[in-house]
Amino acid sequence: MAGAPMSRVLGELTFHDAARAIKETSIFCLPLGAIEQHGPHLPLNTDVVVAEGLTGRLLARWGDAFDLWQLPTLSIGLSREHDWAAGTLSLSIDGFTRHMRDLAGTLVRSLPARNLAIVNGHGGNRGILENLLHELRGDFGLNAVVLHPFDLAGADPAIADVHAAKGETSVMLALAPGLVRRDCIGSGRPPDLKAVQALIFERGTTWGWRSDDARLARDGIIGDASGATAEYGSALLDRMVAAAGGVFAQLLENQTIMQAHDRAR
C-alpha cells in the first residue's frame, strides 16, 4: 500500500526528504505578509492569511506541475503607512532588506533550488521588493519573481479598492470567515476619490500617503467593503491561481536563459 504523498511544505519535511526531493529547477514559494490595521472588521494578520491561503492553493493546483515548495511565512513587512494604529508592526527598510538577503543566503547554501516566487500579501512591501529582486539575482544567483495577488486577479485600478475594502474582505471571507467581523464592515467610499487616484494610483508620482489621511480613508479602510462576499473572494482566488501558472512557466524559462547566459560569460 502506497504511503501518503510527501508534503510540499518545507518545514514539514525531514532533512533527508528535502535533500532527495528538492532539485535545481524546483520553485520555492515564500508567503510574505504584514501585521497591520485592516479597519474595524479584519484582523491585523489579514495579509498573512491571504499570502498563506493563496500559497496553499498554488501548491494544490501547480505543485506537481512546477515542483513548488512552500517556505516558512515572513509575517512582518513594511507597514509604516499604518503605524498610527495599535498592533501594527513594521520592519525598517534596512531590517527588511537584511532579512530577505539572509534568507536568500541560507537557501542557496542549504538547497539546490534557485527559483523563488514571493507571494506578497501586502502592497507596502512592493517598492523594496522590486529593487531587491536584482540583488537576489546578482548576489545569490536566485531567479526570483514577486506575485502581487490582486493585480494577478485583474483588479481594476479605476476602482478605489485599496485596503480592507471589497477585494481583501471578500478573500478573507473565502479563506477565514471566522476572522471577519461582519457587523463592523460598514459602508461608504473614501471621502475623496480624486485624492485616492492622485496619491495612490497615479504612476507619474509617488507619495508617502498614510491610511489615517482623512481624504483617503475611513477608520483605516480605503475603499468600500460593504459589497464583500465569500463568492467574490473565491472567484478572485481562482483568478490569482490561474494567472500564476503562466508566471511559474516564465520563471522556469528565465532560469534556462540565465543558465545559458552564465555559461557564455
Question: Residue 32: which CATH number?
Answer: 3.40.50.10310
Taking only the tens place, the pLDDT of each residue in 60-72 is 999 999 999 999 9
Region 20-45: mean pLDDT is 98
Taking only the tens place, the pLDDT of each residue in 135-158 is 999 999 999 999 999 999 987 665
| Structural domain range at position 126 | 22-260
The answer to whether residue 4 sits within a structural domain is no
Length of the chain: 265
Our count of domains for the chain comes to 1
Taking only the tens place, the pLDDT of each residue in 84-137 is 999 999 999 999 999 999 999 999 999 999 999 999 999 999 999 999 999 999
What confidence score (pLDDT) does residue 27 get? 99
Residue 18 has pLDDT above 90, yes or no: yes
What confidence score (pLDDT) does residue 122 get? 97
The answer to whether residue 232 sits within a structural domain is yes
The answer to whether residue 119 sits within a structural domain is yes
Cα-trace Rg, the chain: 19
What confidence score (pLDDT) does residue 1 get? 42
CA angle 91/92/98 to nearest 5° reads 85
The answer to whether residue 80 sits within a structural domain is yes
Beta carbons within 10 angstroms of residue 62's beta carbon: 21
What confidence score (pLDDT) does residue 200 get? 86
Region 185-205: mean pLDDT is 81
* Higher pLDDT among residues 188 and 50, named by residue: 50
Query: In angstroms, rounded to a whole number, what is the distance separating the alpha carbons of residues 199 and 209?
Result: 7
* pLDDT bracket for residue 189 (50, 70, 90): low
The answer to whether residue 181 sits within a structural domain is yes
CA distances from 160 to 40, 91, 102 (A): 18, 27, 36
Taking only the tens place, the pLDDT of each residue in 207-253 is 999 999 989 998 999 999 999 999 999 999 999 999 999 999 999 99
* pLDDT bracket for residue 160 (50, 70, 90): confident
The answer to whether residue 1 sits within a structural domain is no
Region 163-178: mean pLDDT is 97
